[in-house]
Amino acid sequence: MRFLVTGGAGFLGSALSNQLVAGDHEVRVIDNLSAGDSDRLDPRVLFTRGDVADIPKLWTLLQDVHCVYHLAARVSVPESIKYPRDYNHVNVGGTVSVMEAIRDAGVQRVVLASSGAVYGEQQANPLTEDLIPDPDSPYAVSKLAAEAYVKTIGKLWGIETVILRIFNAYGPGQQLPASHAPVIPRFIKAAQSGGSLVVFGEGAQTRDFIYIDDVVSALIVASTATGVDRQIINVGSGVETSIRTLASVIAQVTDTELDVVYNSGQSGGVNHMCASIDQARSLLGIDQPMSLADGIRQTLETDPRFQPVESSAK
């Protein structure tokens, strides 16, 4: 099959693209490299530097493509609070551009990478796909709007659409920006360097952490699965983990004594989040995601940034 992956040089996009070419598929990637790195990509991936707002370029790349993975997005909740207009422009406007190009090129299916953040704070836990979303950040609003555009344009033009609400993905290659770094690589780095782990409140807020390989598996199955048109499917581990427990697991896996500092400030985001993965099991056949401890261990073993530096004798 032939695939186009938007945002394909990012953390999730590069892992997906490399797995697809390893399966002998033709993979085209478009990424403006604002957050991605083309060096992550297998040489067999056909990489184009560009923006999803460039519809003529998109249309050219979409020729004879069977399925599009739309992953291009800005993804920081704190950043979105500062720059909501930018998030609307990229995450919503970019999605509309992609759907217009898909419509004009006659692509059969699109798989959208959405986010569990669209649910916001809910009374129910785990979160099921039939809950009414209540987004509480511009990022979450932009992802929910992207979902609506994908579903609506798909329905109007006969394009098969699959929306995956991905929860807290982690694994080798996840970025560590100076500000708003994802919690797992940030905690691992602190553990290895002997630094302090700052945990907001009492660390009771919970998240659903899912290893990158499990997310990629769900994405790949979604491209050809039957009975998934117009479906919204959670992609998570189905396990609720508190930030306090996460710190403990990282301490155990890294065999370090962590200095955990509890900050009385607000953590931001929702207090509790855990995915119901019944839909993923029934529609995608995804079951038994990797445990958090095994995923962190795998990250340590395969991410060069976390490998010990061997000193050489002079």
Catalytically annotated residues: 139
Three-state DSSP state, 6: strand
Amino acid at 4: L
DSSP 8-state symbol, 30: E
- Residue 185: closest CA among 206, 169, 162: 169
Query: Token digits for 104?
Result: 């004009």
Compute the half-sphere exposure of residue 227: CA atoms within 13 Å on the CB side of its CA.
7
Pairing of strands 206-207, 241-242: antiparallel
- Taking CA atoms, 92 is separated from 64, 77, 160, 216, in Å, by 25, 15, 19, 23
The residues facing 235 across adjacent strands are: 166
Pairing of strands 67-70, 2-6: parallel
- Taking CA atoms, 202 is separated from 9, 111, 207, 262, 266, in Å, by 36, 38, 14, 6, 10
Cα–chain center distance at 73: 10
Determine the Cα–Cα distance for residues 91 and 106; give it in Å rounded to an integer: 22
For residue 126, cis peptide bond before it (omega within 30 degrees of 0): yes
